[in-house]
Amino acid sequence: MKQTRESGKAPSAEAIARMADRGEDVSWFFTNRGKMMRPVRRVNVDFAAAMLEELDAAAAALNVSRQAVIKAFVRQALDQHHLAQSVRKAG
């Protein structure tokens, strides 16, 4: 009879590594459906009080965190920058 795990909780990465070290088959833990996430790095940014108030107002209007607004606005600015760079190179 095939063994099944009793708990629905997946083992930790360390537990899977120990199983692999013992020569156990751990392939069923890896589905290739996930996305590799790069490590997150923290940064400190200083904002003027007026800009912080604008960010907080935008966050409240969108019902998201201040951090989410900052990330979205920076992403938008970077996308515009890359688009402008590609237009300059093409022209």
Whole-angstrom Cα distance, residue 54 to residue 56?
5
Report the SS3 class of residue 41: coil
pLDDT at 39: 85
Mean pLDDT of all residues in the chain? 87
The pTM score is 0.57
User: 38 in helix, strand or coil?
Assistant: coil
Integer angstrom CA distances of residue 84 from 75, 77, 87, 88, 89: 14, 11, 5, 6, 9
Of 2 and 23, the structure prediction assigns the larger pLDDT to: 23
Q: E strands of 18-83, at which residues?
A: none
Dihedral sign, CA of 38, 44, 45, 50? positive
Looking at residue 1, its pLDDT comes to 44
